[in-house]
Amino acid sequence: MHYDAQLWVPEVGGPIDPNSEAHDLIMLVFGGMSKGKRNRIKIRVRSAMAAQAKTEGRYLGGRPPYGYRIADAGPHPNPSKAADGRRLHVLEPDPVTSRPSPGSSANTPQAADCTRSPKGLLPTAFPASAYDPVRNPHRTGIAWSQGALRAILTNPRYTGRQVWNRQRKDEVLLDVEDVALGYETRMRWNNPDAWIYSAAVVHQPLVDDETFAQVQARYNARKVDPSGPREPKRTRHPYQLRGLMHCGLCQRRMQGSWNNGKPHYRCVYPDQYALANHVHHPRSIYVREELIVPHLDHWLAQAFVPSRLPATIAALTAAQDDEATTTHDADLERARRTIADCDAKLERYRLALEAGTDADLVARWTGQGQHRTRRRPHPPPRHHRGPLSDATPLHSPAADALNHNTQSARRR
């Protein structure tokens, strides 16, 4: 009995008694029977859907792929469902996204999405997938992403056949050590051998079978085996300005690159992103580290001379990380919401304990809630003038300290 509500079962002749072993055994048997019946229904439904997709090529729902839209295909073949107004649907080419844009060098969809690489013709010949904000509210529309292009190039539905069972729903325990918390549903990809293909072409193809097979062969030849060992990449070369260099055109962080025995910093900007963002950005920008460090050393030496040291310390104190403070405020707001949520859960646990729930189970729930409330964010460290003045040497010139330090010391 929970929340003053009793569960009546005809087989026991009245309400369930949680303290009765016989009643507990009956509920376990009923639970196993219900789970078995649910699995049988699930198997029958999936078998019927697989047969419909393979023999009839029926569209079984879901978002249409890029380049297609959903069209009406007549009333439902089941008379009872047709009487309720249910209808069948089929995929048809979208007049906007299934053809290249006027003036582009792509004459056919096949040339755009199969014969060129993801960085080539497709992003400029076709509108981005966010051209329809009503259908794609989650898309930004800035440019084509590599993941979207990969999904298009590997989707066999563009050959005109219906494909089903590409993904499945798995029920995973929220906590293996606490089964009472229940399950959550996760979407996972099936092996391509388990995909169900329609026997015939059921909608207008945008790509022929031969071109699609060539694209898959090229894609699989460059694909990395996810099951193989992958070691983290570590650079062998030191970079004094690692993580500090940003591109002045796109404001992105630059990457370290070792060329001709010298450290460089580069910014690689694909052409399709530059066109979509209307940014005049070269494809690659390289800056040598040796051209930046001397000017930075000179600026530091001028800033830390004894006559300018008080002004420098005052500027450092005033220019402390405001972004970290903003992040701390967001963390505080998140912590307040977490504490309020935990307080509400603790109140429900108290009511459940009064209703007769197992005390040990409620104790574990309460411990988890109290542990979450104890995890409070700490404000970022702030430096004051006193510690900065004490830590700054006044007896030695800053230029000498910069000149005598090694590259590893500079990076630290």
Does residue 341 share a domain with residue 282? no
At residue 209, the 3 state secondary structure works out as: helix
The pLDDT value given to residue 49: 92
Q: Is residue 376 helix, strand or coil?
A: coil
Q: What are phi and psi of 263, to 5 degrees?
A: -75, 135
Residue 42 lies in a domain: yes
Q: How far, CA to CA in Å, does 101 sit from each of 68, 93, 124, 133?
A: 16, 15, 8, 19
- Indicate whether 397 and 343 sit together in one domain: yes
* Residues ≥6 apart with Cβ < 8 Å to 408: 238
Mark whether 327 and 401 lie in a shared domain: yes
DSSP for 312-361? HHHHHHHTS-HHHHHHHHHHHHHHHHHHHHHHHHHHHHHHHHHTT--HHH
Shared domain for 319 and 354, answered yes or no, is yes
Residue numbers of the domain that contains 279 = 255-291
**pLDDT score for 102:** 47
Q: For residue 113, what pLDDT is reported?
A: 40
What local confidence, expressed as pLDDT, does residue 399 receive?
Answer: 53
Quick check: is 81 in a domain?
A: no
Q: Are residues 157 and 204 in the same domain?
A: yes
Pick from 47, 261, 67, 268: which is nearest to 148 by CA? 67
Contact 265/247 with Cβ under 8 angstroms? no
- The reply to whether 270 falls in a domain is yes
User: By the 8 A CB rule, do 182 and 171 touch?
Assistant: no
User: How many structural domains are present in the chain?
Assistant: 4
Asked if the structure places residue 178 within a domain, the reply is no
Residues 22, 139 within the same domain: no
Residue 176, domain member (yes or no): no
What pLDDT does residue 178 have?
77
Question: Is 255 exposed, middle or buried (CB count within 10 Å of its CB: 0-12, 13-18, 19+)?
Answer: middle
Question: Has residue 177 been placed in a domain?
Answer: no
Answer yes or no: do 350 and 270 share one domain. no
The predicted structure's pLDDT at residue 244 = 86
- Residues 216, 101 within the same domain: yes
How far does CA 214 lie from the centroid of its chain?
29
Q: Are residues 335 and 405 in the same domain?
A: yes
Same domain, 262 and 151: no
pLDDT at residue 157, rounded to an integer? 92
CA geometry: angle 312, 313, 317, nearest 5 deg: 120
pTM of the full predicted structure? 0.51
Residues 71, 89 contacting (CB under 8 angstroms): yes
Give whole-number Cα distances, 48 to 44, 195, 201, 273, 406, in Å. 6, 15, 20, 45, 71
CB proximity list for 287: less than 8 A, separation 6 or greater: 245, 254, 264, 265, 266
For tokens 């062969």, what's the residue?
A: 217
For the chain (412 residues), the mean pLDDT of every run of 10, in chain order, is 72 81 85 90 92 91 86 89 89 80 42 41 55 67 70 88 90 78 86 90 89 85 64 73 84 86 86 64 87 87 83 77 60 78 76 66 62 52 56 53 58 54
With respect to residue 246, please indicate whether it lies within any of the assigned structural domains: no
pLDDT attached to residue 195: 92
Does 24 map to a domain? yes
The token pair at 266 is: 């580069």
CB 247 within 8 A of CB 254: yes
